[in-house]
Amino acid sequence: MKPSVIIQTNSNSYRFKIKFSTLTELKGMGVDLLSEKGSEEIQREPEKLAYVFWKGLEAGEMKKFTQEEALDIFDEVMEELGPEEFATIIPKALAIKMQPPVKN
């Protein structure tokens, strides 16, 4: 089993993981992490990044959070890491085996 990614802030650390079930839950919320369209939607609607954090936090910590609790933690993470650094964590947190793209 792939371990969670640890997101470290000055005062806390959080486990973050995106499992297949997390991907399907996010897709139901309008966030498709596995498509270019989904990435474009996150850039157009940055609040969707908070949904990714919320559901990845629940999967990593293996417990439920209210949206308000998750957003409080997300604010802390964004203050210290920022959206660009957080975006680099997402691919590392994917806990599904991805096939490399086929080259023609």
Closest CA to 50 of 86, 97, 23, 8: 86
pLDDT digits (tens, 9 = 90+) for 29-82: 888 888 877 777 777 887 888 999 999 999 999 999 999 999 999 999 999 999
Give the per-residue pLDDT at 15.
97
Give the per-residue pLDDT at 101.
53
Closest CA to 2 of 15, 14, 24, 35: 15
Closest CA to 54 of 83, 74, 32: 74
Give the per-residue pLDDT at 57.
97
pLDDT digits (tens, 9 = 90+) for 86-96: 888 988 998 87
Which residue ranges make up each domain of the chain?
14-93
What SS3 state is found at 13? strand
CA distance 60 to 17: 5
Give the per-residue pLDDT at 67.
94
**Is the model more confident about 22 or about 42?**
22
CA distance 27 to 45: 14
SS3 assignment for 40-75: HHHHHCCHHHHHHHHHHHHHHHCCCCCHHHHHHHHH
